[in-house]
């Protein structure tokens, strides 16, 4: 019954003016990430949400030091992404969008390989997870279905009980029951040595109903920028959608976002914490998919 | 104590508030009695595939209000100091928000008062017969 809390002030995921751009073939550049800054506390379970091409995978790769940013910096548990220490790497689990498996190795053989790499590797934990997820461990990875490959990737990422977990659409190919098991596995009991440490998770997904169950925070990305980042409960309690007959004034207190919806009608997204009581009783509460539409349509 | 929580991410209340409100109603209605043990944070979170911190948050809020208390070796229990059953006025106040929302919908749908009240009576009967 102990409430798991991080030591106050410790930051799990952090970016400062992070930019990533690629030169275009002939002239100009494609801006993938534009001036991203955020700090997310240890123990947070963060949903990374945005349309395809919004920069979610690029952000995850920058945080992991797999892609070098054009400008700015990022840190994982205080450790700069471009100089992750071995100690930090041992505390890290990553599930890439395309399962990162060795096609010629079976699940069991993958576990053997990982066991040599990670000191905290726990074969029993991994096998229990594989059973829970119903992954066929004896088959070559390239003979598994995409769903089974994803499940195996998740098992491998969780096998050393990482403090930090970054996942890029880990459950896109899983059925609803397997996704429930996946969510349970995120919060499974930790090994005794780490029991007091909360795990921090950053996962991108389009399955917003799933995210609503598990996230503590949500970060909305659009065209390489952070649109909104906050605690999810706070957003549910404080964001309200108002339907207006005209374009809202820019000075409307608490205005977060606006968009025309046709017929002269405008949608205004207000934050009650800053709205001076305006929308308190006539605004509409937004679930994550409604909010996604408001922010991206 | 057996308490079935009805957790829905589609609800307009955050999940922690759903737990808080359902426990509040359970305690006010006498369905949860003083000393009844609550499911552990982990068990409730795993059952519904939700974040344990969400359950913790709900329990802590009710503990701060004095409705729950932490008991060594047992976990969270319904506090012993509260009246067995809340007064009728208090219980009606807990019901009000749900009825207010239903009333708003009835007006939107253009239903007359008689029809709406009949439907509520029917719903009540179904619940008592369960």
Sheet holding A45-49, edge to edge: A92-95, A164-168, A200-204, A45-49, A217-222, A225-231
Label the pairing between strands A92-95 and A29-41.
unpaired
In this complex, do A184 and B12 lie within 8 Å of one another by their Cβ atoms? no
Q: Do A233 and B16 touch (CB under 8 A)?
A: yes
B79 contact A CB<8A: no
- DSSP-based three-state secondary structure for A96: coil
Structure tokens at A259: 């968009």
- Kindly give the pairing relationship between strand B68-71 and strand B75-78: antiparallel
Q: Is A235 exposed, middle or buried (0-12, 13-18, 19+ CB in 10 A)?
A: buried
Residues of B in contact with A4 (CB under 8 A): 52-53, 56
- Which chain B residues are Cβ-neighbours of A285 within 8 angstroms? 12
The conformational region for residue A78 under phi > 0 = left, psi -120 to 50 = alpha, else beta, is: left
Q: Which CATH number is B15-78 given?
A: 1.10.10.10
Domain ranges of chain B: 15-78, 88-128
Per-residue pLDDT of chain B (130 residues; tens, 9 = 90+): 567 888 888 788 999 999 999 999 888 888 888 889 999 999 999 999 999 999 999 999 999 988 999 988 888 999 987 655 567 777 788 888 888 888 888 888 888 999 999 999 998 898 888 7
ipTM of the modeled complex = 0.85
The pLDDT of residue A235 is: 95
Residues of B in contact with A189 (CB under 8 A): 42
pLDDT of the residue at B1: 56
Residues with Cβ within 8 Å of residue B1, at least 6 apart in sequence: B32, B33, B36, B37, B38, B78
Q: Is A189 exposed, middle or buried (0-12, 13-18, 19+ CB in 10 A)?
A: exposed
How far, in Å, CA of A146 to CA of A175, rounded? 12
pLDDT band at A280 (very low <50, low <70, confident <90, very high): low
Report the predicted TM-score, pTM, of the whole model to 2 decimal places.
0.84
- Residue B67 near residue B31 (C-beta atoms within 8 A): no
Which residue in A132, A177, A187 has the most chain B C-beta atoms within 10 A of its own C-beta, making it the best mutation to test that interface?
A187
A chain contacts of residue B51, beta-carbon cutoff 8 Å:
45, 187, 213-216
Q: What is the DSSP pairing of strand A265-271 with strand A239-244? A: antiparallel
**pLDDT tens digits, A88-133:** 999 999 998 888 888 999 999 998 888 888 887 888 888 888 888 8
Smallest CA–CA distance from B55 into chain A, residue: A3
The answer, for A212 touching chain B at a CB cutoff of 8 Å, is yes
- Chain B residue closest in CA terms to A180: B49
Overall average pLDDT of the A218-245 stretch: 94
At A5, is the pLDDT very low, low, confident or very high (cuts 50, 70, 90)? very low
Q: Which region among A49-58, A245-254, A260-269 has the lowest average model confidence (pLDDT)?
A: A245-254
What's chain A's average pLDDT?
89
Q: What is the largest CA-CA distance in chain B?
A: 55
**Would the pLDDT of A46 be above 70?**
yes
Q: Which of A3, A214, A233 sits opposite B60 (nearest CB)?
A: A3
Which of A4, A214, A236 lies closest to B14 in CB terms?
A236
pLDDT tens-place string over residues A136-158:
888 999 999 988 999 999 999 99
């Amino acid at each position: 019954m102990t409430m798991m809390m991080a030591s106050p002030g410790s930051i799990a995921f952090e970016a400062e003016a992070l930019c990533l751009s690629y030169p275009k073939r002939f002239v100009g550049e494609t801006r993938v990430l534009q001036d991203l800054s955020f700090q997310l506390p240890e123990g947070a379970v963060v949903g990374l949400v945005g349309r395809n091409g919004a920069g979610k995978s690029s952000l995850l790769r920058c945080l992991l030091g797999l892609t070098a940013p054009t400008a700015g910096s990022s840190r994982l548990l205080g450790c700069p992404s471009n100089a992750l220490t071995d100690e930090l790497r041992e505390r890290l689990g990553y599930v890439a969008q395309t399962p990162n498996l060795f096609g010629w190795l079976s699940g069991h053989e993958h576990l053997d390989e990982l066991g040599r790499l990670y000191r905290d590797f726990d074969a029993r934990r991994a096998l229990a997870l594989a059973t829970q997820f119903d992954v066929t461990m004896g088959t070559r990875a390239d003979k598994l279905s995409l769903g089974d490959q994803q499940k195996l990737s998740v098992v491998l990422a969780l096998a050393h009980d990482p403090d930090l977990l970054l996942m890029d659409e880990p459950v896109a190919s899983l059925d609803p029951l397997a996704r429930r098991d996946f969510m349970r596995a995120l919060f499974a009991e930790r090994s005794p040595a780490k029991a007091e440490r909360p795990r921090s998770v950053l996962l991108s997904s389009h399955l917003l109903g799933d995210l609503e169950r598990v996230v503590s925070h949500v970060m909305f990305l659009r065209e390489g920028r952070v649109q909104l980042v906050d605690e999810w409960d706070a957003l549910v309690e404080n964001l309200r959608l108002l339907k207006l007959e005209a374009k809202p004034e820019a000075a409307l207190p608490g205005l977060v976002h606006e968009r025309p919806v046709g017929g002269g009608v405008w949608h205004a997204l207000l934050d009650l914490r800053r709205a001076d009581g305006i929308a308190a009783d006539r605004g509409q509460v937004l679930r994550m998919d409604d909010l996604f539409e408001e922010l991206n349509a | 104590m057996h308490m079935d929580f009805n957790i829905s991410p589609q609800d307009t209340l955050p999940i922690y508030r759903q737990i808080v409100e359902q426990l509040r109603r359970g305690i006010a209605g006498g369905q949860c009695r003083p000393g009844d043990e609550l499911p552990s944070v982990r068990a409730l979170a795993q059952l519904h595939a939700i974040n344990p911190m969400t359950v913790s948050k709900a329990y802590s809020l009710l503990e701060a209000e004095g409705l729950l208390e932490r008991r060594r070796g047992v976990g969270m229990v319904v506090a012993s100091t509260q009246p067995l059953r809340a007064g009728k006025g208090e219980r009606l106040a807990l019901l009000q928000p749900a009825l207010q929302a239903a009333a708003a919908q009835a007006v939107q749908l253009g239903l007359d008062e008689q029809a709406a009240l009949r439907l509520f009576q029917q719903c009540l009967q179904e619940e008592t017969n369960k």
